[in-house]
Amino acid sequence: MAVAVLDARFRRLPNALTLGTALIAVFYLAGFGQGPLETQPASNLFAAALFLLFLLPAYARHWVGGGDVKLGVAFGLLGGLKAALVTLGAGGLLLAALGWRAQRARKPGDPPRVVPWGTAHGLAFAAAVVVMEHMPGGIY
C-alpha cells in the first residue's frame, strides 16, 4: 500500500522501498525455501521474470519509470506466479480506468496526465495478497 500512496502523491518510487523489498524477498526465499505466500521459489522467480518481460519494453518507451520495473520484480519475488497474474490483470484494468478518467478530465491545451503504474499495480497486488491469504482455495 505504501508504494500506491507514494507513486500517486510524488510520482516516484524510492530505491529503498523497491530494491529493499526485492532484497527481503530474495533473503526470504533463500532462508525458508518458499515465498512469503507459501509459493515455490520457481514460481517467484518466474513471476519476477514475467514482470521484467512486461515492463522492460514499457520502460524503453518511457511509459513506466525504473522504479516501476524494480517494483514489478519485487512483486514477483514476493507473490509468485498467481499473484503476478492477478496483479498484472487487475492492475492493468485499474490503470486503464485511471487513464480514461484522466483523459476525460483533461481540458484542451492541458499537457497529458501521467497515470502512476505503481499506484494501480500496488493496489492490485495488495488485493491479490488478501485473496491468496484469506479466501478458501486462494485465487483459483
Quote the pLDDT of residue 136. Answer: 66
What cell was used for 132?
Answer: 491468496
Using a pLDDT cut of 70, give the percent of the chain over it. 96
Quote the pLDDT of residue 91. Answer: 92
Three-state DSSP at 82 gives helix
Whole-structure pTM value: 0.85
- In this structure, how many other beta carbons lie within 10 angstroms of the beta carbon of residue 49? 14
User: Per-residue pLDDT averaged across 39-47, rounded?
Assistant: 94
Angle at 36 between CA 21 and CA 18, to 5 degrees: 10
Domain ranges of the chain: 2-134
Quote the pLDDT of residue 63. Answer: 87
77 within 8 A of 47, measured Cβ to Cβ: yes
Quote the pLDDT of residue 2. Answer: 76
For residue 125, give the DSSP letter. Answer: H
Quote the pLDDT of residue 72. Answer: 94
41 within 8 A of 35, measured Cβ to Cβ: yes
